[in-house]
Amino acid sequence: MSNINLAIIYYSSTGTNYKLAKWAEAGGQEAGATVKVLKVPELAPRSAIDANPAWKAHAEATGDIPEVTLDDLEWADAIIFSVPTRFGNMPAQMKQFLDTTGGLWFKGKLANKVVSAMSSAQNSHGGQEATILSIYTTMYHWGAIVAAPGYTDQVIFSAGGNPYGTSVSVDQDGNMVEEVEAAVKYQAKRTVTVAEWVKKANQ
Ligand SMILES: Cc1cc2nc3c(=O)[nH]c(=O)nc-3n(C[C@H](O)[C@H](O)[C@H](O)COP(=O)(O)O)c2cc1C
């Protein structure tokens, strides 16, 4: 049993990043962490969601997933983010949430959190790496410790070889193209392991 609290914070319109988050939850639990899966608040107008059947269905199916709060960030020793790309950047929903963390940052409460990130895009080179890096930019300002997977395990190669964090592309029907479940679980375990090292060193 690990003594690590892991928050998996995601945004998803059509379910891909929700699925990545759930795989990360399983990986974190296998590593012995206490895990919370949390979504960031939606900002899109109801009319936009209702106009897209896949978005509407996913929003309804995940209505019971709790929205992340600043208390969750304080609680977490480790955090995994998962977001779809929006023109090579994180979605506004995630950025808006991160922009509410100034008070915690000012009090030094975000320093030494161990973090990593995952992403998806329609195309195989549609901006996944840039999107993950956009999250890491904020993490460097937090003073967080980025535990990117690098090429530390064979599963990363079979998932497409993104060393920044697991990423996937989705076809026209919203199905994932690459097999990334094992890489997501590995990334979650590695994030928990690095958090254990950091926590132990600070005790
Ligand atoms: C406003 C917007 C911008 C997007 N930009 C890109 C892009 O630049 N490249 C790309 O491959 N896919 C792009 N996509 C597709 C999404 O990344 C894709 O639908 C998403 O990864 C699916 O994740 P989800 O099911 O968790 O919502 C964009 C989608 C939207 C709505």
Q: Whose CA is nearest to atom 7 of ligand 1?
A: 87
- CA dist., res. 45 & res. 28, Å (int): 33
- pLDDT at site 45: 98
How large is the angle between the packed helices 181-202 and 16-30, nearest 10 degrees?
50
Tokens of 179: 């097999």
**Per-residue confidence band for 12, with pLDDT thresholds at 50, 70 and 90:** very high
Q: What percent of the chain has pLDDT over 90?
A: 98
Tokens of 160: 């497409």
The response to whether residue 131 sits with its C-beta less than 6 Å from ligand 1 reads no
- pLDDT at site 86: 98
Tokens of 190: 């590695």
How is residue 176 annotated by DSSP? B
Residue extents of the structural domains in the chain = 5-202
Higher per-residue confidence, 117 vs 202:
117
- CA dist., res. 126 & res. 51, Å (int): 24
- CA dist., res. 163 & res. 172, Å (int): 26
- Ligand 1: distance of its center to the CA of 140 in Å? 25
Q: Which residues contact 162 (CB under 8 A, 6 or more apart)?
A: 128, 129, 132, 149, 156
Q: Residues 94-111: what's their mean pLDDT?
A: 98
Instruction: Tell which atom from ligand 1 comes closest to the C-alpha of 88.
Output: 8
Q: Which residues contact 60 (CB under 8 A, 6 or more apart)?
A: none
Q: Residues 132-138: what's their mean pLDDT?
A: 98
pLDDT tens readout for residues 141-190? 999 999 999 999 999 999 999 999 999 999 999 999 999 999 999 999 99
- pLDDT at site 203: 85
- pLDDT at site 2: 80
Tokens of 60: 């309804």
**Per-residue confidence band for 99, with pLDDT thresholds at 50, 70 and 90:** very high
Q: Residues 92-117: what's their mean pLDDT?
A: 98
- Ligand 1: distance of its center to the CA of 13 in Å? 9
If you write DSSP's letter for every residue of 82-111 in order, what string do you get? EEE-BTTB--HHHHHHHTT-HHHHHTTTTT
The response to whether residue 127 sits with its C-beta less than 6 Å from ligand 1 reads yes
pLDDT tens readout for residues 37-60? 999 999 999 999 999 999 999 999
Q: What percent of the chain has pLDDT over 70?
A: 100
SS3 164: coil
Options 3.40.50.360, 3.50.50.60, 1.20.1440.130, 3.30.70.360; which CATH number does 5-202 get?
3.40.50.360
Mean pLDDT of the chain: 97
